[in-house]
Amino acid sequence: MSAPDVFQAAGRAGRPIAGELVIDAHAHFGHGPDFPIIRPTAQAVVASMDRLGIRMTCVSSIPAIFGDAEHGNALVADGIRAFPDRIFGYLVVDVGYPEKVAAQLAGGRAAGFRGVKVWSYGARPGLPYNHPNYEPVFAYANEHAMPVLAHVFGPELDELEGHIKRFPRIRWLLAHIGSAELEKYMRFAREFPTVYVELCFSACPRGLVEHLVAAGLENKVIWGSDVVFMDQASQLGRVLFAQISPAAKRKILGLNATKALGLAPRV
Amino acid sequence: MTPLKLIACDALVGLPRKPFVLFRPDADDLDRELARLEISAAVVRHRQCVENFPHWGNDVLAREAAGRTKWIPAVCLTPDGAPDDYSLEATMTRALARGMRIAWISPKEHMFSPRPWCSGKLYAACAAARLPLLVDYRSVTLDDIDEIMTAFPQLRLIVTQVPRYGRHRSLYALLERHPGLHLCLSSAYSVHEGLTDLVEKFGHARFVWGTSYPEAEGGASVTLLMYAALSDAARAAIAHGNIERLLAEVKP
């Protein structure tokens, strides 16, 4: 008889996952443009983390993504200060205004941000990743070996490919695998040692996690929730109940993130 | 420890003409999913009701549900009743006599207006029988729901596939206006603090639970409910108590 799956057992009982490293690699603070988000604060997210047994959550600011990095990053900086062991900050910069970028990058790193989040277009218009304004952003991340979490919903993959090849010190987290272009996401994860694919997606496609593991990508898949846009618990359940081995769950829920985010010495 | 009893209210069983790539949602698959996730029962609609015509699907469901003790069949209704008699009254009478305890409509696929000028008799019949009526969020507008519930405040309308739009401005307004409006919350409703906020504002009696079977990983819906910051009483009501009460209150 196989050993009970501690992840599934915890999820079915609603118990925090104990004795395991769980890292949420994709999260946000702050309100969004379309609909009001309920309690989008560091305190509420940490309370959710405690209920679920999440050790660390990696956060970027929604107001910064939607056009006000100048002030929006402060939401995350405050969270890092309040919960230095629980919150990992992704810096967002105003790529539309290149004169601001260098100071925002340097200031953000000094404020404790350890990664960069980029968001091209989708719910709102924006610059594609192959726009020259991204060049200094990725060059800075490469120089400092910072991870970059990139919002992707399919077509952006082609826009990123050149950057992935030219900036080998960046570990790339390509968000929302399963949303579209599944085979291309998987090809990127296979071909590029610095690429990881990240899971958060509201549709929670059945069989996706199993498919990725069966395809040999268990070392390249990273769990993220997109909280506060989404609920950490429901996104977590996709991995807790996936029909894969506990060892694979351990990698997806935390171990892969420590490598991608450069966290090993600090977590 | 015995796991919390769960009743999923939104299963859609049956094979689509164009197969899914990663799973095959037939009757046995649904039963396996219920067992894997330790779900006690499921309200089951049949895909043949939308891939084919509604009353064909109802017959397929009746055949497939026979002997499956965890299934609670949901009958697909249209305002004109079943062919070939086209009598809503006759359809309702027959279905209730055969044990129907919950129904659903799919206005988009079946090309009728969900508004009362077209579907009013159907809502009146459901309200009179206290029959819970499921409708997918994507197949009606919120203005449709407002008109329906204004005209038929006694109707037990359950909206499935509620989306993840935070503190949904229009839906909160509808819940405020219409005490008979119920929501089925599954992983589609992946809202940070969402269940907690809904229960704080509207109590726990108007929410039931689902898994978005077959397209979504059902475990996501399990954790949505099990990890939510809710009292034990609220969690149990949403997990099973509310739907059990609604089913028990049907007047055949």
Q: Which of B166, B196, B217 sits opposite A238 (nearest CB)?
A: B217
Q: Specify the number of domains making up chain A.
A: 1
Does residue B83 belong to any structural domain of this protein?
Answer: yes
| Phi, psi at A21, each rounded to 5° | -90, 115
Torsion sign over Cα B16, B17, B18, B22? positive
Q: Which of B3, B169, B217 sits opposite A241 (nearest CB)?
A: B217
User: Which residue segment(s) compose the domain that B170 sits in?
Assistant: 7-248
Chain segment B220-246, per-residue pLDDT in tens:
999 999 999 999 999 999 999 999 999
Could you tell me the end-to-end alpha-carbon distance of chain B, in angstroms, rounded to an integer?
Answer: 37
The DSSP H or E segment spanning A26 is: strand A23-29
Going by C-alpha positions, the residue among A225, A221, A243, A227 that lies closest to residue A235 is A225
Burial B34-48 (b: 16+ CB within 10 A, else e): beebebebbbbbbbb
Nearby residues of A103 by Cβ (< 8 Å), 6 or more positions away? none
A12·B38 Cβ contact <8 A: yes
Question: Which long-range contacts (C-beta less than 8 Å, at least 24 apart) are formed by B229-234?
Answer: B229/A47, B229/A51, B229/B193, B229/B195, B229/B196, B230/B195, B230/B196, B230/B199, B230/B204, B231/B204, B233/B204, B234/B199, B234/B204
- The pTM assigned to this predicted structure is 0.97
Q: What's the angle, vertex CA A53, arms to CA A260 and CA B166, rounded to 5? A: 85
Whether chain A has a CB inside 8 Å of the CB on B211: the answer is no
CATH number of domain containing B128: 3.20.20.140
User: Which residue segment(s) compose the domain that A76 sits in?
Assistant: 6-12+19-260
Does residue B1 belong to any structural domain of this protein?
Answer: no
Hey, of B189, B192, B197, B238, which one would you mutate to test binding to chain A, going by the most A CBs within 10 A of its CB?
B192
> What is the rounded (10 degree) CA torsion for A233, B170, B105, B66?
20
CATH number of domain containing A44: 3.20.20.140
Chain segment A153-209, per-residue pLDDT in tens:
988 999 999 999 999 999 999 999 999 999 999 999 999 999 999 999 999 999 999
Does residue A1 belong to any structural domain of this protein?
Answer: no
| Phi, psi at A69, each rounded to 5° | -65, -30
Look at residue A3 in the predicted model and tell me its pLDDT.
Answer: 66
Q: Specify the number of domains making up chain B.
A: 1
Going by C-alpha positions, the residue among B104, B124, B89 that lies closest to residue B58 is B104
Chain segment A221-262, per-residue pLDDT in tens:
999 999 999 999 999 999 999 999 999 999 999 999 999 999
Does residue A250 belong to any structural domain of this protein?
Answer: yes
A79-88, B75-84, B148-157, B239-248: which range is least confident on average?
B75-84
Does residue A148 belong to any structural domain of this protein?
Answer: yes
Does residue A267 belong to any structural domain of this protein?
Answer: no
Q: What's the angle, vertex CA A17, arms to CA A12 and CA A21, rounded to 5? A: 140
Closest chain A residue by Cα to residue B6: A12
Q: Hunting for tokens 């490293």 — which residue is that?
A: A21
B37·A241 Cβ contact <8 A: yes
Integer angstrom CA distances of residue B111 from A126, B77, B80, B107, B196: 38, 12, 12, 6, 36
Does residue B2 belong to any structural domain of this protein?
Answer: no
How far apart are alpha carbons A87 and A57 in whole angstroms? 5
Strand partners, B181: B157
Does residue A103 belong to any structural domain of this protein?
Answer: yes
Within 10 angstroms of residue B2's Cβ, the number of other Cβ atoms is 5
Hey, of B223, B225, B226, which one would you mutate to test binding to chain A, going by the most A CBs within 10 A of its CB?
B223
Does residue A36 belong to any structural domain of this protein?
Answer: yes
Hey, of A206, A226, A228, which one would you mutate to test binding to chain B, going by the most B CBs within 10 A of its CB?
A206
Does residue A44 belong to any structural domain of this protein?
Answer: yes
B166·A227 Cβ contact <8 A: no
